[in-house]
Structure 1
Amino acid sequence: MLSRKRNDNAPSRNAETSLISSGTIIRGDVRFTGTLHLDGRIEGAVIGEGNSAVFTLSEQGQVQGEVRVPHAMINGQVNGDIYVSERLELATQARVIGDVRYNSLEMAAGAQVNGRMAHQGEDHIQRELPAPEVRSDAVTA
């Protein structure tokens, strides 16, 4: 899944890449552009800025907080809600405890999500149920 050749609509891999290595713990929110690869642990929100931001979480990586990015490849543990505006890939070792909202989703066998999953495409419109009709011939007490 993660080694497949990308199409022309995928984010550019020529952008800057940041690495948070295993054994590193960051307490607080992390904002990034380009690509962020996490082998360590973030205790706070992970926020990708710009339409081409890519977040990759390795098998040993952990996020304790919300993830808000355009593109994500998850193969580690996330304890928090995930909001992906473009493409989300959940690999075999992905463990998510929280709600997941995505536009496009690829989920491998073995990936686990303990929470609600909802498609949030551009055409997604929140619809309300119509109010019940009140009949004029109803008997009132």
Structure 2
Amino acid sequence: MGFFSRQGIGEAKPETITSVIGADMQLAGDISFKGKLRLDGKAEGNIRGEYLILGESGTISGDVVVSTFVCSGRVEGTVNVQKLYVVKSGFIEGKVETMDLAVESGAVLNGEIKSRSQELRLVPGSSATEEDWDVRMKEAAAQAPVKKKGIAAK
């Protein structure tokens, strides 16, 4: 079935979540966990673990280092993950490094994005088809200025 099921991108069944930080909770300090953590509250500090689900009301001010990260909330900091799924309500401001990135139309990514592989892809149902995306990327590459001896030339 995968991540693109009727539940939506990256949503997990409630029984598979091992820990929950509710919307009324605020944490200050680093968080380290195993299994799946759903964070609907506010965390100020670095987060390290396996599978993190940031709910729409969740916010993180700090660095995130996890294997899989489903972002529906707001992150301000560095995100270093193997798999990153950003849904339409998700907002990330900072540096992102990932091997596998899926971004739903309407999500916001502000900052530097670094891919550790060629696995970046469009999410089905986003605003552009894969063919349109490929055409746009080729056009952008053709229009990009060519640098010669430190001077940009067209």
Alignment counterpart, residue 100 of structure 1, candidates 92, 96, 103: 96
Match of 2:65 in 1: 68
The answer on 1:114 being equivalent to 2:110 is: yes
> Whole-Å Cα distance in 1 between the matches of residues 77 and 31 of structure 2?
14
> Whole-Å Cα distance in 2 between the matches of residues 2 and 40 of structure 1?
24
Q: Supply the RMSD in Å over aligned alpha carbons.
A: 2.7
Write the letter of the residue equivalent to 1:112. V
Match of 1:89 in 2: 85
Which segments of 5 or more consecutive residues in structure 1 lack a partner in the other structure?
6-12, 122-141
Q: Deviations over 1:21-78 (max 9, x none)?
A: 0010000000000001000011000101xxxx11000100000000000101000000
Write the letter of the residue equivalent to 1:35. K
Which segments of 5 or more consecutive residues in structure 2 lack a partner in the other structure?
7-13, 118-154
- Higher RCO (Cα < 8 Å, 6 or more apart): 1
- Confirm or deny: 8 A CA contact 2:40 2:59 kept in the other structure: yes
Aligned residues: 113
> Whole-Å Cα distance in 1 between the matches of residues 3 and 76 of structure 2?
22
Write the letter of the residue equivalent to 2:55. S
| TM-score, scaled to structure 1 | 0.72
> Whole-Å Cα distance in 2 between the matches of residues 107 and 92 of structure 1?
8
1:4 CA displacement: 1.9
- Confirm or deny: 8 A CA contact 2:19 2:37 kept in the other structure: yes
Of all paired residues, the percent bearing the same amino acid is: 29
Change (3 A) 1:18 1:113: same
Change (3 A) 1:2 1:23: farther
Q: Which has the larger radius of gyration?
A: 1
> Whole-Å Cα distance in 2 between the matches of residues 69 and 14 of structure 1?
20
Write the letter of the residue equivalent to 2:57. Q
Higher helix share: 2
